[in-house]
Amino acid sequence: MGEVAIRGWRQGVVSGAPIAVKRRIIRITVLVCAVLCIIVGIVRGDTTAILRRAVYICLECIGIG
């Protein structure tokens, strides 16, 4: 049992599915969550607040604000 698990680990297979497939699933899940968060922020009207904060930070870096 232990040698089979080590062989599978060396070949990039964990729990019966290749690591590349699991990474792809994780990437797609994170992308979907990020897009949903962006959409929720736009619907709530947070875009103006975020833009205002970005402008203030930029102006402070330049030394004008």
Instruction: Say if CB 10 and CB 17 are below 8 A apart.
Output: no
Sequence-ordered strand ranges (E) for the chain? 13-14, 17-18
The full set of domain ranges for the chain reads 18-62
> What pLDDT is recorded for position 18?
82
Tell me, yes or no, if the pTM score tops 0.95.
Answer: no
What's the confidence (pLDDT) of residue 25? 93
11 backbone dihedrals φ, ψ, rounded to 5°? -85, 0
- In the predicted model, what is the mean pLDDT of residues 43-58? 90
Token readout for 41 is 């922020």
**Model pLDDT, residue 62:** 84
Contact 65, 56 (CB under 8 A): yes
Dump pLDDT digits (tens) for 2-41: 555 555 555 555 566 688 888 999 999 999 999 999 999 9
- The HSE-up count of residue 29 (CA atoms within 13 Å, CB side) is 6
Length of the chain: 65
Give residue 63's pLDDT.
81
